[in-house]
Structure 1
Amino acid sequence: MKNSLLIFTFMLFLTYGTAQKRDFKTIYDIEATEVLSQGVTGTCWSFSTSSFLESEIIRKTGKTIDLSEMYNVRHTYLAKAWNYVMRQGKAQFSQGGLAHDVINSIEAHGLVPNSVFTGLVNNETSYNHKKLEDTLKTILDTYLKAPKKYTGNWENDINDILDAKIGNDITTFNYQGKTYTPKAFLEYTKINPKDYITLTSFTHIPFNEWSILNIPDNFSNGLFYNVPLKTLVEITNEALKKGYTIELDCDVSEKSFSSKYGLAIIPEQENFEIPYIFKDIVPEKEINQEYRQQEFENFNTTDDHLMHITGMLKDQNGTIFYKVKNSWGKNSDRVNYGGYIYMSEAYFKLKTISIMVNKNAINKKFTKKRLNN
């Protein structure tokens, strides 16, 4: 037993002890707004997509605008409630969502700045939607159990709860001395909802076609344009090179994803040790389309979390990493990168569910006809 322990220790030294610490060099670093915290909510989809749109506004206008994440969340709760009722409860009703839900919301209801709609009421200073989700779902389930016996109007009841817990809907507001409606403010930002498309890469749906990706949070049946994995990476890299940021939906449940160390990698060695893989450079797996598909179909890859890619780096070995803005705040226990995650290209290839990008950033080999869903 003692000899076995010595051998194991020696193997760890060979694997990790001689490795180098990462030294990153920035390739692209696109302007983004401050890192925020989504609190105790499942609203990463709105925080990340709002951040993505804020970078788009900077790129288009040079203006830095703090958009309201909770304005989109409020309207999406209503859309989810309608979907849940019309499907007679045989659908998911939760806090989760996807990037296209924000695009759907702003197209229908416009945008507002965070200064006029924070989504915090009664002197709250942070977000917590656990009780809100339970309350909303209780109303919906009560109605579905006996619609004819339900007193009142379930839609009005849902609205009343949202008014009380997130804030009243906004029709007009003042911003920098001018009065806007949410639709007028959307025009002011120069954001065109039709500019944004979602791309994915899986073999169970046809390549170079639009398909509905059947994942739990796609309650709105959003369409995804499916491309080979190599193309997905090329589109991402070219967009960053052109100064466009990327909205990212990916799996963050892996042990090799660490918000504490600000890194996400796919170690080549199966039985890796933590925290060594984050402190030293270790070899990563080669990721191909088949392995990616396998991990998706066996549920090792799920749509856990949405974040915002704002740049690209490489370490001293030339390995590509993406600079990914998270929405878990800048807690003091985090070792590196101020709320950002440096995600290796291998992790991106394996664990990305989808990306959202401005279609104007995509190479001309993808024709407008093919990219208009």
Structure 2
Amino acid sequence: MYKNTMKSVFAASAFLVGVSGCFAQDILVNSLKLNASDKSKEAFKFTEVVNLGTTSVKNQGSSGTCWSYSTNSFLESEMIRLGKQPVELSQVFSARNVYVEKGINYVRMHGAVTLGDGGALHDVTNMYKKYGAVPREVYTGLNYGTDKNKFAEMAALIEGVLAAVVKNPNGELTPNWQKAYAAVIDSYLGKVPENFTYKGKNYTPQSFAKEVVGINPDEYIEMSSFTTSPYYQKTTMMVPDNWSFDQVYNVKVNDMTDVIDNALKKGYTVAWATDVSEKSFSWKNGVAYVPTKKFDEMTAEEKADMFNGPKAEPEITPEMRQAAFDNYTTTDDHGMHIIGLAKDQTGKEYYIVKNSWGETNDYKGFLFVTKNFVKYKTTALMVNKGGIPTDIAKKLGV
């Protein structure tokens, strides 16, 4: 059963936001406590402007599968928008299929492509299109005695299998390696059911996607912003976890927030991939912004005050954003789900973001992110075509 989570949290005054390119929850939380402030929640006074429906907050555990959690949450909210009863979809089903496809690609590329848990927003819609979907209750991926994801051992084994295949000891590859590789994955995550029963009816993953979820993956597009490619055309997203070499639409910096604003206003949520390595991203405090000074240039007092209320931010330019990509200060760290808009006591707007690290921060699994942070640190965003402003859609040809 879905709920308008943020309304219930505001009412309770308790608004609480791997490892390749997507941080595992248990690895990152401690590192993000450095600049946490016990007074932050008292110093920020948020008022919601837009709050769209979403399903419950999940915990990705010790796995770098944030991209699957965030994008499946996005698809669940799309079901809500379409007037459907949302189904909590299996994030591990999407991830399992990506492991298989990534392994095939890895061998074809002679090992010269990224492995690990990391992925991209489009991986979920690509796998949905090819493999369908299943409910979370049908395929949890917890096939080895744990109550949450713990993928390190599996990751080490599948890397070993693929390394052996790439060495090509027979001098010619056989098709059997794919069976052996999939068997390792399935021994940890469980075999995918060919058929399953949901609410008294039998489905395959493909029929479930078509009849119950009812989403057309071709209606969703990704975009980002780079100065290195022409605007309003597609470009390959040059991040390590784009193992499938998918392309995204290249838009201007301000277009990204214009798209998000328009989408939220029209009832569409947005899947969001971003860098969370900044000291101005605080998981505990549930706030992210762009400071006017670099952390290393701040005084001890300024560092201690980082999350004690709203702060000024610099203007984000295309050159500033591109430089951060090029010098590795913006990295493809994490995927989350933008579900709404709020204002602080000064009138500054923040996006309301749903995370997948459980309900362990001040806002029970949610985060307030400034528009400037989104402009500066977004690696990609995904939205339904219907949420794109008309003028931008026309330029993109969608």
TM-score scaled by structure 2? 0.85
Is it true that 1:55 corresponds to 2:77 in the alignment? yes
Matched residues, number: 351
Q: CA deviation at 1:368?
A: 6.6
Q: CA deviation at 1:364?
A: 2.1
Q: CA deviation at 1:21?
A: 2.1
- Per the alignment, residue 100 of structure 1 pairs with 122
Change (3 A) 1:152 1:106: closer
Structure 2, unpaired ranges of 5+: 1-38
- Per the alignment, residue 337 of structure 1 pairs with 363
Is it true that 1:209 corresponds to 2:233 in the alignment? yes
Q: Which residues in structure 2 correspond to 1:286-325 (within 5 Å)?
A: 286-325=315-354
Please say if residues 225 and 371 of structure 1, whose CA atoms lie closer than 8 Å, have aligned partners that are also in contact: no
Please say if residues 232 and 395 of structure 2, whose CA atoms lie closer than 8 Å, have aligned partners that are also in contact: no
- Per the alignment, residue 227 of structure 1 pairs with 251
2:131 to 109, 112, 118: 109
- Per the alignment, residue 7 of structure 1 pairs with none
Structure 1, unpaired ranges of 5+: 1-16
Q: CA deviation at 1:151?
A: 8.8
- Per the alignment, residue 10 of structure 1 pairs with none
Please say if residues 106 and 114 of structure 2, whose CA atoms lie closer than 8 Å, have aligned partners that are also in contact: yes
Residues 277-306 of structure 1: CA deviation (Å, up to 9, x unaligned): 112222122211111111111111011101
- Per the alignment, residue 11 of structure 1 pairs with none
Change (3 A) 1:241 1:166: same
Q: Which residues in structure 2 correspond to 1:114-125 (within 5 Å)?
A: 114-125=136-147
Q: CA deviation at 1:189?
A: 1.3
Calculate percent identity across the aligned residue pairs.
38
Is it true that 1:142 corresponds to 2:164 in the alignment? yes
- Per the alignment, residue 390 of structure 2 pairs with 364
Query: How many angstroms apart in 2 are the aligned matches of 1:367 and 1:282?
Result: 34
Is it true that 1:182 corresponds to 2:205 in the alignment? yes
Q: Which residues in structure 2 correspond to 1:224-263 (within 5 Å)?
A: 224-263=248-287
Residue 308 of structure 2 aligns to which amino acid in structure 1? K
Q: CA deviation at 1:370?
A: 3.5
Q: Which residues in structure 2 correspond to 1:278-289 (within 5 Å)?
A: 278-289=307-318
Report the more deviating stretch, 44-53 or 360-369. 360-369
TM-score scaled by structure 1? 0.90
Change (3 A) 1:339 1:367: closer
Q: CA deviation at 1:122?
A: 3.4
Residue 222 of structure 1 aligns to which amino acid in structure 2? D
- Per the alignment, residue 14 of structure 1 pairs with none
- Per the alignment, residue 37 of structure 1 pairs with 59
- Per the alignment, residue 185 of structure 2 pairs with 162
Is it true that 1:354 corresponds to 2:383 in the alignment? no
Change (3 A) 1:152 1:287: closer
Please say if residues 46 and 69 of structure 1, whose CA atoms lie closer than 8 Å, have aligned partners that are also in contact: yes
Residues 167-206 of structure 1: CA deviation (Å, up to 9, x unaligned): 1022111100111111111112121110110011111011
Aligned-residue RMSD, C-alpha: 1.7
Q: CA deviation at 1:316?
A: 1.5
Please say if residues 61 and 190 of structure 1, whose CA atoms lie closer than 8 Å, have aligned partners that are also in contact: no
Please say if residues 47 and 327 of structure 1, whose CA atoms lie closer than 8 Å, have aligned partners that are also in contact: yes
- Per the alignment, residue 87 of structure 1 pairs with 109
- Per the alignment, residue 5 of structure 1 pairs with none
Q: CA deviation at 1:255?
A: 0.7
Residue 323 of structure 2 aligns to which amino acid in structure 1? Q
Please say if residues 35 and 327 of structure 1, whose CA atoms lie closer than 8 Å, have aligned partners that are also in contact: yes
Query: How many angstroms apart in 1 are the aligned matches of 2:395 and 2:333?
Result: 31
Q: Which has the higher contact order (CA 8 A, sep 6+)?
A: 2
Q: CA deviation at 1:253?
A: 0.3
Please say if residues 209 and 226 of structure 1, whose CA atoms lie closer than 8 Å, have aligned partners that are also in contact: yes
Q: CA deviation at 1:226?
A: 0.6
Query: How many angstroms apart in 1 are the aligned matches of 2:343 and 2:317?
Result: 21
Change (3 A) 1:341 1:275: farther
Report the more deviating stretch, 30-39 or 261-270. 261-270
Query: How many angstroms apart in 1 are the aligned matches of 2:378 and 2:48?
Result: 22
Q: CA deviation at 1:371?
A: 4.3
Residue 139 of structure 2 aligns to which amino acid in structure 1? F
Query: How many angstroms apart in 1 are the aligned matches of 2:397 and 2:222?
Result: 10
